[in-house]
Amino acid sequence: MKRLNNRRVLVTGATQGIGRAIAEKFLAEGATVLLTDFVEDDVINGVTDNLESRFPGLVFGKRLDVEDERQVIEGFQFIRDVLGGCDVLVNNAGINRQSPSELFSASDFDKVLAVNLRGAFLCSREAIKLFLKQGSGVIINNSSNHELIPKPGFIAYSASKGGLGNLTRTLALEYADKGIRVNAVAPGATVTPLNASWTGDSAKRKKVENHIPLGRAASPEEIAGVFAFLASEEASYITGQTIYVDGGLSLHTDFKTNWSS
């Protein structure tokens, strides 16, 4: 029996990269999935049509900008009206901006936090309203190893992921006695469109992978498998945790050579 049979799942940022891999993994595990993203309708329709051919009757799509509170509310009204409720929320939508911190614009800082952190809050809030009525539910946030590790030049991204870790733990504690579990997955270097600056250049990719203890970047599918586990009953006693799926990057690789002694 598939691990996620009859689960109703909403995934944000689901048309490419890790989000799409999560959607496909959940579908393969038997879930019904509402894919949402802030892209044109024809892009969402193309992805859902492609998946519908392999998972008939299990795939739905809707344009949703997680920055827009009204659209978030409408998205959860949609999954309630069409699927009768929601069992799992995956907060995957995320963006990035790069600049030295002394030159980082307030507008870029606000934009990154609006998508990565405020958007996750809005979606979580609406999901929890449904979960409380049902008596159960799961939220899984797509964080980053930069939830823990600073990333100079990416101050907004680091701050958003640090905040997402605390949002995860706060909601987990607040709703643990209501049948609601909240966890996060923290990927490291992953081959996705978000990392196109180095994934398609062999020299740049080698430079990135030289920093990873396992010696290679992750595939989106490897990350998606951890989301599926956390959504399943196999993880029924796990809440408030961030699972680092980063090839060992969070092991502080500088200490592999014992320079400190």
Phi, psi for residue 11 in degrees, rounded to 5: -120, 125
Instruction: Find the farthest-apart pair of alpha carbons in the chain and give their distance in angstroms, rounded.
Output: 62
> Is 244 one of the catalytic residues?
no
Could you give the strand order of the β-sheet that contains 242-245, starting from the edge strand earlier in sequence?
59-63, 32-37, 8-11, 88-91, 137-142, 180-187, 242-245
Helices (H), the chain: 17-28, 41-52, 69-83, 106-113, 119-134, 155-175, 196-199, 202-209, 220-231
**In the structure encoding, which two tokens stand for residue 242, read together?**
């961030």
Question: By C-alpha distance, which of 122, 130, 22, 140 is closest to 83?
Answer: 130
3-state secondary structure 37-87: ECCCHHHHHHHHHHHHCCCCCCEEEEECCCCCHHHHHHHHHHHHHHHCCCC
CA distances from 39 to 52, 73, 75 (A): 19, 18, 15
Helix axes 119-134, 69-83, angle to 10 degrees: 30
Start-to-end C-alpha separation, the chain? 52
Catalytic residues: 157
